Amino acid sequence: MLRHPQTQPQAAPHIPNLLSRPPPHKAPHSLQQFLGLALASCNLAQFAAMIKKKTGKSALAYNGYGCHCGWGGSKQPLDATDRCCHAHDCCYKKLVAAGCKPKTTTYKYSFQKNQITCGERNGKPCQKRACECDKRAVECFQRAATVTHLPSHYCKNDCLGEKGIPTPPVLTGESFLLILQVPAQFLAVQ
């Protein structure tokens, strides 16, 4: 009679709770992932629709772009589009400070003749203000028109990106003013 050695029960593999932390700072790979984000942030679908109508681009093109587009934000914005996302983050922070919940607030808006109009006259203030934040961001995206490929790994380090790629220089207001003060003869190409 053959006896089988007794097998020890194995512990179940550890499965991290991915819902307990923010998503990684990179673009979702599918519409299904994007819709999952929309469920976590009710007005994200409205913001995405605004982006598509005004710019003709998918909202996925902006998620994970630069240092401020997508979840969280750090460092200085890297370009005009990233500055739009930074301004949008600041707008939302002001609403939170005023007692609003802009990420979960749904609102009404209309789109006519390429213009976005937020809310109704008697709409709730938080709804209208959340819509205005999104509207300003979308209009900024349209003006910036620079969404190419600027992955968020540029934001990981002050000097070098993840793979040792130098971070693109960003002109601050102060450095830009210094450039303006340089006499013209030093800027002339010879």
pLDDT band at 53 (very low <50, low <70, confident <90, very high): very high
Give yes or no for residue 185 having a pLDDT over 50: no
Give yes or no for residue 160 having a pLDDT over 60: no
pLDDT given for residue 151 in this prediction: 57
Lowest-pLDDT range of 12-16, 42-46, 137-141, 145-149: 12-16
DSSP letter for each residue of 7-23: PPPPPPPP---GGGSPP
- Per-residue pLDDT tens digits for 99-134: 999 988 899 999 999 899 998 667 689 999 999 999
Which one-letter DSSP state was computed for residue 152? G
pLDDT given for residue 49 in this prediction: 93
Please give the structure tokens belonging to residue 4.
């089988």
Looking at beta carbons, which pairs linking 121-126 to residues 24 or more positions away fall under 8 Å? Answer: 125/100, 126/95, 126/98, 126/99, 126/100, 126/101, 126/102
- Per-residue pLDDT tens digits for 58-94: 998 888 888 888 877 777 888 899 999 999 999 999 9
- CATH number for 29-187: choose from 3.30.1110.20, 1.20.90.10, 1.10.3210.10, 1.10.600.10: 1.20.90.10
pLDDT band at 148 (very low <50, low <70, confident <90, very high): low
pTM of the model: 0.59
Of 67, 25, 64, 59, which is closest to residue 168 (Cα–Cα)?
67
70 annotated to bind ligand: yes
119 annotated to bind ligand: no
Q: Give the active site residues.
A: 88, 134
Amino acid at 72: G
Is residue 109 helix, strand or coil?
strand
Burial 138-162 (b: 16+ CB within 10 A, else e): bbbbeebebbeebebbbbeeeeebe
> What are the boundaries of each domain within the chain?
29-187
Query: In this structure, are residues 93 and 180 in contact, taking their beta carbons and an 8 Å threshold?
Result: no
- C-alpha to C-alpha distance for 124 and 80, rounded to whole angstroms: 31
pLDDT given for residue 132 in this prediction: 95
pLDDT given for residue 70 in this prediction: 82
